[in-house]
Amino acid sequence: MDQDRSRLNLEEPRRVTIREVARAAGVSVSTASKALNEQGRMSPETRDRVRQIARDVGFRPNAVARALVGKRSFTLGLITNDTYGRFTLPVAAGLASAMASKGVSVFLCAVDDDPARVRLSIEAMEDKRVDGLVIAGKRIDRAPPLENRRPAMPVVYANAATPPEGVGFVPDDKRGGALAARHLLSLGRRRLAHISGPEDFAAVALRAAGWCQVLRDAGLEPYGKSLHGSWSEAFGYETGLFLRERLGTERYPDAVFCGNDQIARGLIDALQVRQIRVPEDIAVVGYDNWDIFARATRPPLTTIDMALTRLGECAGLTLLDMIAGKAVEPGLRKLPCHLVMRQSCGGEQIGDAT
């Protein structure tokens, strides 16, 4: 059968009709149609058999005709302004993988921050009658510029600002900061400094809040001034070269929690120039678990993983519920982060989630 199909595919593409599916399954066209549309009553065995046969013979319902009469098209759209892909690619991977197992395809449009591009993409998604839309971003306090345009389909936000009546998924950054602090405290570190990205990012404030709360619960204050700069190795490196001076402290900290992995890597490189040992003298925790950085750092970086792949899965499954007409509460869902231990803090290397 498979051989026949591949031979067939080398010829002019030809669609298998529902009549052929019905004949092969020994049921009426109407029963076959109900089985494939998940409508009407029949035994689960019959439904499964028809669907299996449809798959075997390569049947695909005519999506265009189906869309015209308002049925599902088994496609989702994903619109993102993260053209670099750092955040959206793991989200897209989780989404596409969870959806593929349900026979649903995901179309991604990367739009940068140009409202005209966003409009064009949303219109294209609407024109193509995708069943629903995931709107993804590169930070939790911004979204692609929709300009009051409400897509004519169910929408879920992922790692992006979510409007009050919307459904959204973001990493729990406050918990991420708390995880870093607890880990360092558990290793006996007590002079705990934090350096992070620009202050106007909501994630920066949340990570710092989670971090500070755990410190205060332990009777400690953050060690030295809090330092903010770009999300870059360069900022980490410059800070590392003059760490005490920048923090305004007499002694070095014994641990630094960095707002992302690039800052952490720059910091560690600079500490090595200053002959300060990581993790013996200073333990370092990163954030993101971006593995091309986290693994290449010497020593490899212990860091917080935002579980963006899982976030993409959750966004997709919730969107399917909305498309199916199930009641979904509006609001923001914060998904747990987790700590990935490598070697930049010492302690036992208990595993690597990636």
Q: Coil, helix or strand for 9?
A: helix
Residue 247 found at the interface with its own copies (CB under 8 A): no
**295 versus 338: smaller Cβ distance to its own copies:** 295
Angle CA 66–104–101, to nearest 5: 140
**125 versus 243: smaller Cβ distance to its own copies:** 125
Please select the residue that binds its own copies; options are 266, 286, 312, 316, rule is CB under 8 A.
Answer: 266
Please select the residue that binds its own copies; options are 42, 57, 109, 317, rule is CB under 8 A.
Answer: 109
Q: Which span sits near its own copies by CB under 8 A: 56-64, 163-171, 244-252, 274-282?
A: 56-64
| Nearest-angstrom CA–CA distance, 278 and 52 | 57
User: Restricting to residues 291-320, which ones interact with its own copies according to CB under 8 A?
Assistant: 292, 295-296, 298
**Distant-in-sequence, close-in-space partners of 63: CB < 8 Å, separation ≥ 6:** 73, 74, 75
10 Å CB burial of residue 261 (0-12, 13-18, 19+) is: buried
**Residues 317, 322, 325, 327: is their CA dihedral positive or negative?**
positive
Residue 324 found at the interface with its own copies (CB under 8 A): no
Which of 115, 116, 133 lies closest to 125 in space, CA to CA? 133
**120 versus 218: smaller Cβ distance to its own copies:** 120
| Nearest-angstrom CA–CA distance, 46 and 48 | 5
10 Å CB burial of residue 103 (0-12, 13-18, 19+) is: exposed
Please select the residue that binds its own copies; options are 19, 37, 113, 120, rule is CB under 8 A.
Answer: 120
Q: Which span sits near its own copies by CB under 8 A: 135-143, 226-234, 281-289, 332-340?
A: 226-234
Shortest Å distance, C-beta 153 to its own copies: 9
The position carrying tokens 């705990």 is: 192
Please select the residue that binds its own copies; options are 65, 165, 325, 327, rule is CB under 8 A.
Answer: 65
10 Å CB burial of residue 56 (0-12, 13-18, 19+) is: middle
How many DSSP H helices and E strands does the chain contain?
Answer: 14, 12
Q: Which span sits near its own copies by CB under 8 A: 29-37, 122-130, 131-139, 312-320?
A: 122-130
Residues touching its own copies: how many (CB under 8 A)? 58
**262 versus 302: smaller Cβ distance to its own copies:** 262
Residues that bind its own copies (CB under 8 A): 6, 9-10, 13, 60, 62-65, 67-68, 73-75, 77, 83-85, 89, 92-93, 96, 100, 103, 105-111, 116-117, 120-121, 123-124, 126-129, 147-150, 152, 232-234, 237, 262, 265-266, 269, 292, 295-296, 298
